[in-house]
Amino acid sequence: MIVTTTDVIQDAQIEAYMGIVTAEVVYGSNALRDFFAGIRDFLGGRSGSYERLFEKGQSRAIQKLEERAEELGADAVAGIELDTGTINVDEKGALLMITASGTALKLQN
């Protein structure tokens, strides 16, 4: 499976556009991680725990995107876009959301 953020795949002929595929990954907040991130925010610096969480989430979203494209019979996903956001649950908590989308393609052999 070829996955790319570009709109074209070099040296590949597109046989069919299989449609748009999307994937979503949602993580709950973690009190301990939030506490240390708050200290980091106050003192300055990077929050390694959140960086690792987003890295893991982005990888998982792309993996799910590939799985959904394969279900359509696609060989590639082009034009991939990743987005992050939050879903506010209440005044004390939020969920982290990572989404991926792209166009599933069937390539000529």
Task: Supply the pLDDT for residue 28.
Answer: 77
Collect contacts of 8-14 with beta carbons under 8 A, ≥24 apart. Answer: 8/78, 9/76, 9/78, 9/105, 9/107, 12/76, 12/107, 12/108, 13/107, 13/108, 14/105, 14/106, 14/107, 14/108
pLDDT, one tens digit per residue, over 39-63 is 555 455 566 667 788 889 999 999 9
pTM of the model: 0.78
Mean pLDDT of 70-78: 97
Residue bearing the bigger pLDDT, 44 or 107: 107
Hey, what domains does the chain have and what are their CATH numbers?
Answer: 2-107 (3.30.110.70)
Percent of the chain residues topping a pLDDT of 90: 60
